[in-house]
Amino acid sequence: MLRTMRAYIRIIDAMNRFIGRIAMYLIFALVGVLLWSSVSKTFFTPALWTLETAQFVMVAYYVLGGPYSIQMGSNVRMDLFYGDWSNRTRAMVDVITVFFLLFYLGVLLYGGISSTAYSLGYFGTEPMVFFGDLLRTLVTEGAEAARAKIGVLERSSTVWRPVIWPIKTILVFGVFLMLLQTLAELCRDILRLRGEEVPSVL
């Protein structure tokens, strides 16, 4: 069991470190989009796509970098007493409070999946069934048959009117990664409480 927990921590840490270190470069894409927005408004016809693209890039930057931030312990937290506690006391409190975060992330994940299904034209109440059916159709019948199951795509209400499902998919993926990283942190705290060797985050 402990060996499995260590292996899980190593795998999730490595995956989120890789994704997080790539996602941090999205800040340069965001700067580029905002710079072009300023240039186009000053010298040319203002580009319609810049504001929403900047918002989409910022969402991807935030949700894909979040698990890496948790892993590195650089997420913002209320620290009135926590910093003065011993590692064992911190681990004990974290083992209890992590379940609130897991519940929140679980609700957020389900809401994101429902919202993504809606953005693909599904207006029912069982988004998991919709995605299961979509995946099964894609595997057994091909892309054309799967595309036929998708309804009217949700679009933004702005003048540019981009489809919304790509950014909602990234949001769901980011929340899922955060859920996996939170479970890795729970495993890490359990190992600390048992006095076992804890895999390094680096």
pLDDT (0 to 100) of residue 116? 95
Note the pTM of the prediction, 2 decimals: 0.88
Span 163-197, pLDDT tens digits: 999 999 999 999 999 999 999 999 888 888 887 77
Task: List Cβ neighbours of 178 (8 Å cut-off, separation of 6 or more).
Answer: 63, 66, 67, 70, 105
User: Is residue 202 in some structural domain?
Assistant: no
Which amino acid, residue 155? R
User: Is residue 198 in some structural domain?
Assistant: no
pLDDT (0 to 100) of residue 177? 97
Span 137-165, pLDDT tens digits: 999 999 899 888 898 899 998 888 999 99
User: Is residue 78 in some structural domain?
Assistant: no
Number of domains in the chain: 1
pLDDT (0 to 100) of residue 2? 81
Which amino acid, residue 6? R
Question: Which tokens go with 79?
Answer: 């620290």
Q: How confident is the model at residue 12 (pLDDT cuts 50, 70, 90)?
A: very high
Domain extent, residue 170, equals 2-71+87-193
Span 52-100, pLDDT tens digits: 999 999 999 999 999 999 888 777 666 777 777 787 888 888 888 899 9
Give the Å distances, CA to CA, from 202 to 24, 138, 153, 192.
Answer: 17, 39, 42, 17
**How far is 138 from 71, CA to CA, in rounded Å?**
35
Q: What is the DSSP letter of 194?
A: T
Task: List Cβ neighbours of 44 (8 Å cut-off, separation of 6 or more).
Answer: none
User: Is residue 76 in some structural domain?
Assistant: no
SS3 at position 155: strand
**How far is 71 from 109, CA to CA, in rounded Å?**
19
With 90 as the cut, is the pLDDT of residue 5 above it?
Answer: no
